[in-house]
Structure formats: structure tokens, C-alpha cells
Amino acid sequence: MGLHQVDIGSDAYQQPGEVLAERIGARKKELGNKLLVLCHHYQQEAVYRFADMTGDSLKLAKHAAACTDKPYIVFCGVHFMAESADILTGDSQAVILPDLRAGCPMADMAQVEEVSWAWKELGQVSDASRIIPVTYVNSSAAIKAFVGERNGSVCTSSNAERVLTWALERGEKVFFFPDEHLGRNSAVALGIKPEEIVLWKRGEHLGGNSGETIRRAKVILWNGYCTVHMQFSAAHVRMWREKDPAVKIIVHPECRHEVVAGADRYGSTENIIRAVTDSPAGSRWAIGTEINLVKRLARQNPDKEIHSLSPFQCLCSTMYRIKPKYLLWVLDNLVEGEVKNQVTVDPGTAKLARIALDRMLAI
């Protein structure tokens, strides 16, 4: 994605956390009803504490769409989420990403040019009109527009199985991108046979497959992945099972299939929060998702034992780019009537991407 973040000037913003927090609180008060701060669950605490609303990507997209009265939406998350919010909000609303370098490596693994090329190749060995494209919400607006234009849908980690079912009822095959693992985990959960699930390797002719393999496939998976969730392994699952036979293991579906298969449960960040929060006192959990969420769950549930599934800190470094000083900088500017770091999607792309997003919200 490679968006540039302007230098905010270190002197005014290089201050102790408590000073920045006080200043952010004051700016929020000044902006009052004009402002909505949305925070994804992976945000660091120093930012998350200022959220008006929190959620996983599906919930945040719904919040953005529902808050039609807020002229300024400060999105503490990553770029593709801010793009979705811009598509779902009105023309008079500005969606602001405090640090424009907050992208998602997985979303960057599917550029619209390479997906369009792959689509053409698929059409050479099968009937493209019988293929339904499905993109994970972790993708650029241009990719969502590509999907909208071809009667496909967006999905999130909360509804991937439902969207996949919808797509398979409408076509012979699904082309799923960018996340191989969410696609595979959802396809396996729906009972699709392993030989009907095919991997499309980026940059290879026919994704490294024969025409025959493609013709037999039901689900074709782009080989993108999340650099954070790939850090959890089957060895971590075994380690916990040996250490504590009573521990419950819950993981995000962006983890490899062997990790999901070894876990007790899997689900989106919202599902993970619900499962842990609703469990009885004394429960013990090993959680395979981003560390800021795991630590927050541990703090919020002192009556339970909560650990990361991995002994190492699995941090989403791009989510982590949203620092209090950048949040303060955009709010300072809003008070002065200056909108900095607005994320906009051009109207042509937004119109087509909205078709794919609305389809998801309707499924």
C-alpha cells in the first residue's frame, strides 16, 4: 500500500503518556458530538481507552454505516478498515486514519492487477461465469470493487462460512482471497473435500496448478496470509495440551488449519471475546490471536487464567502504528478545522465495492 505519513513534528508530541492522554481527552471533549472514535480490538491500550465504539472488522463496519450524524470518524485500525468505513459512510463524513502507514500485510498480498490476471487465466481453463469471487474484508477497495463487479461478496472472519455457502449455491466454484487459511478453515468446516480445495500460488501460471486440477476444484484459495496468526503452530497446541489438559484453546481462523483443527474452538475476535467472557470463573484459556487483545482479556477477566497460545508476543505491528501522539495530532487538527489523513475511495471504485460489502451485510 505504501502510503506516506507526514512528519507531525516531534517537539509538541514527544511527551509522557499521561500528558498525551490528558490532551486527547480534552480534544475529544471539544469536538463532542462531531467526533466518533472507532477502535479495533488489536489496538494498544493507550489508544483503545479513547474508543467511543470497539469491535472486530464486521462490527466496526456496521458502526461506521450506522453513525450517519458524525462528520469526523477517527478510525483506529488499519487502512482497509478505514476504506470500508469511507465506502459505507456519507459524502459529508470524513474517515481519518491517524497514521497512514497502518496497512495490513495480508491485504497487500492481493493486488488487483494480479487477481485480475489470475481471473483471466481461470477463464482460459474453466467457465469464469460459474466462478464466484469472495474477498476477505482484509483487502483493498480496488479488490472489493473487482468482486462487486463480478457478482461476488466480501466476508469477514465472523461470517466466512455463511458467505462461502451462499457463493457455492450460486456458482460451481469460489475464488477466495487473500487469506488461504480463513478460506481453508471455512471450506473444511462446510465439509468440502480436501481434493476440492486448491491453492493458487501468486505469480505462477494457473497458480501452479494444471487445468484439470482447477476444473475439479470447488474452492480456489489465494496464498495470502496474516503474518501475526502464522506465528501460532501445532507445536504450541501440543505444548499446552501436555502442560494443562484442562486448558481451553481458542484461535482466530487466520491460523493454519492444523492449529484450528487442534484447538477446542475458533472464531473472529468478537467470538473469542464472547467465549472467554462467558466462561465460568476459574477457566483456563490459551488464545491464538493478537497480543493486545489477549492481554486485555486477561486484565478484564481476573477470575480466569488467560495466556497467549504462543510463548512469544504476537503483535500486529501495523495496528501498533496507531500511537497516542498520532491520535492527538489528528484531533488537534480537527479542532482547528483541518482534516488530516483522510482516507477516501474514488467514487467509481466505492460504488462497485459497496455492492460487494452490501451483499455481505445482507447475507
Residues that bind ligand 13P (CB under 6 A): 56-57, 138, 156-157, 226, 254, 268-269
180 binds ligand SF4 (CB under 6 A): no
Q: Which is nearer to ligand SF4, 106 or 272 (CB)?
A: 106
CA distance 325 to 20: 7
Q: Which stretch binds ligand SF4 (CB under 6 A): 6-14, 27-35, 221-229, 323-331?
A: 221-229
| Shortest spacing between CB 113 and ligand SF4, in angstroms | 20
Q: Which is nearer to ligand SF4, 255 or 352 (CB)?
A: 255
| CA 94/CA 267 separation, integer angstroms | 31
Handedness of CA 322, 222, 360, 288 (dihedral sign): negative
CA distances from 155 to 171, 265, 282 (A): 16, 20, 35
> Hey, what's the cell of 162?
455463511
Q: Is the CB of 173 or the CB of 256 nearer to ligand SF4? A: 256
- Binding letters toward ligand SF4, positions 20-59, x by CB under 6 A: ----------------------------------------
- How far does the chain reach from its first CA to its final CA, in angstroms? 29
Cβ at position 12, least distance to ligand SF4 in Å: 29
Q: Does 301 participate in binding ligand SF4 (rule CB under 6 A)?
A: no
Element (H, E) at 42: none
Q: Which is nearer to ligand 13P, 179 or 332 (CB)?
A: 179
Burial code of 111-142, b = ≥16 C-beta within 10 A, e = fewer?
bbeebeebeebbeeebebeebbbbbbbbbbbb
DSSP string, 99-161: -TT---HHHHTS-HHHHHHHHHHHHHHS-GGGEEEEEESSS-HHHHHHHHHTT-EEE-TTTHH
Residue number, 105 or 171, with CB nearest to ligand SF4? 105
Cα 348 from Cα 362, distance rounded (Å): 22
Q: Which among 7-15, 168-176, 220-228, 343-351 is the span making contact with ligand SF4, rule CB under 6 A?
A: 220-228
Our CB check for ligand SF4 shows the closer of 121 and 180 to be: 180
Whole-number Cα distances in Å, 238 to 233, 242, 243, 288: 9, 6, 9, 13
78 grid coordinates: 488499519
Q: How far apart are CA 311 and CA 281, in angstroms?
A: 24
As given in the structure block, the three cell numbers for residue 92 are 459529508
Per CB under 6 A, 349 contacts ligand SF4: no
Q: Is 316 in the site for ligand SF4 (CB under 6 A)?
A: yes
Which of ligand SF4, ligand 13P, none does residue 227 bind to, with CB < 5 to 8 Å depending on kind?
ligand SF4
Strand, helix or coil for residue 336: coil
Which of ligand SF4, ligand 13P, none has residue 156 at its interface (CB below 5 to 8 Å by kind)? ligand 13P
Contact flag: residue 131 with ligand SF4 (CB under 6 A) = no
Question: What single letter denotes the amino acid at residue 200?
Answer: W
Q: Indicate which single residue of 43, 44, 138, 223 sits in contact with ligand SF4 (rule: CB under 6 A).
A: 138
294 binds ligand SF4 (CB under 6 A): no
Considering only residues 245 through 264, tell me which ones interact with ligand SF4, judged by CB under 6 A: 254
Q: Nearer to ligand SF4 by C-beta: 41 or 173?
A: 41
- Choices 90-98, 222-230, 267-275, 296-304 (CB under 6 A): range interacting with ligand SF4: 222-230
Q: How far is Cα 136 from Cα 277, in angstroms, rounded to an integer? A: 26
In whole angstroms, how close is the CB of 269 to ligand 13P at the nearest point?
A: 4
Q: Is 104 in the site for ligand SF4 (CB under 6 A)?
A: yes
* Bridge partners for 176 per DSSP: 134, 221
> Which residues sit at the interface with ligand SF4, rule CB under 6 A?
78, 104-106, 138, 226-228, 254, 290, 316, 318-319
